[in-house]
Amino acid sequence: MKLLRYGPRGQERPAAVAEDGTLRDLSSVIADIDPSTIAELGRVRAVDLASLPIVDPAERIGACIGRSGKFICVGLNYADHAAETGAEIPEEPILFMKATSAIGGPNDPIIIPPGSEKTDWEVELGVVIGRAAIHVAIEDAMNHVAGYCVINDVSERAYQLERGGTWDKGKGYDSFGPVGPWLVTADEIPDPQQLDMWLDVDGHRYQNGNSRTMIFGVAHLVSYISQFMSLQPGDIISTGTPPGVGLGQKPPVFLRPGQEIRLGIEGLGEQRQRTVAAAY
């Protein structure tokens, strides 16, 4: 299933993609797609989507999962991305947190912070947790995954790398976490380690990678993270980015207001964002 949420920010309603490509409203079936309902997605499978109301294509698409408790990110998780930044291959996954207030819809504007000169892009495979996980084995980890989505891990590199402390400073600005358009259930993605992924800025392709070059795969990450914190339904794991980020260009290239970002992952849909200057 391809599930999504649509409508004004904070008032999103659940929907699904029907076989004919139309979006169908699920409000009569499920209250939302969020931690309280993600275990009930089986109810959606039994519904004839063609019998449900069609969603106006002009509606805003929101984040595909609502009210996530945690937004956990993995740094330097692609060997070719680590190489472009001059970093060593990590011996264990590098973890940091992205503020949940950064989460937005896949096509919402990206806000360039006041004075920012190093805002960057990162297409990433997102993993949404479906069942609580604590100290799970790698062999059992995939049983805790509800599905997958596209994430743009927008980053302000000066905040991240030049302001001291952890990476979190450069990762959590409002709008820095577009998620979606779809939550694609795990049964539709038999191998999350074989997905093409790409990102363009103003029509120029900067990232063109595949999840097979991950250093630590999805099962490893779910198991590993569950050793340090419980994973709860609705939590998001952003699994790292392939090469081609702005920081890795020679010379580096960063975002400015008025640009268009397009990105996507095989089978998971596409995002399109405009960059805008902060209004404060």
**Is the pLDDT score of 242 beyond 90?**
yes
Quick one: which H or E segment has residue 43?
helix 42-45
* Residue 258 backbone class (left: φ over 0; alpha: ψ -120 to 50; beta: rest): left
Indicate whether 39 belongs to any domain.
no
Nearest to 26 by CA among 7, 35, 10, 235: 7
| pLDDT (tens digit per residue) in 107-125 | 999 999 999 999 999 999 9
What CATH number should be reported for the domain holding residue 81?
3.90.850.10
CB 260 within 8 A of CB 273: yes
**Is the pLDDT score of 236 beyond 80?**
yes
**Is the pLDDT score of 166 beyond 80?**
yes
Number of domains in the chain: 1
How many angstroms separate the Cα of 64 from the Cα of each of 154, 172, 197, 233? Answer: 17, 18, 18, 14
Indicate whether 146 belongs to any domain.
yes
Indicate whether 48 belongs to any domain.
no
Nearest to 133 by CA among 66, 228, 36: 228
pLDDT in the model for residue 265: 98
Expressed as residue numbers, the domain containing 75 is: 65-277
Indicate whether 211 belongs to any domain.
yes
Indicate whether 230 belongs to any domain.
yes
Indicate whether 23 belongs to any domain.
no
Q: Token match 């990762």: residue?
A: 171
d(CA 78, CA 85): 11
d(CA 67, CA 58): 24
Nearest to 99 by CA among 6, 158, 11, 170: 170
pLDDT in the model for residue 264: 98
DSSP helix, strand, coil percent of the chain (3-state; round to 5): 20, 30, 50
Nearest to 73 by CA among 127, 31, 137, 119: 127
Indicate whether 171 belongs to any domain.
yes
pTM for the predicted model, two decimal places: 0.97
| pLDDT (tens digit per residue) in 199-232 | 999 999 999 999 999 999 999 999 999 999 999 9
Indicate whether 77 belongs to any domain.
yes
| pLDDT (tens digit per residue) in 17-65 | 999 999 999 999 999 999 999 998 888 999 999 999 999 999 999 999 9
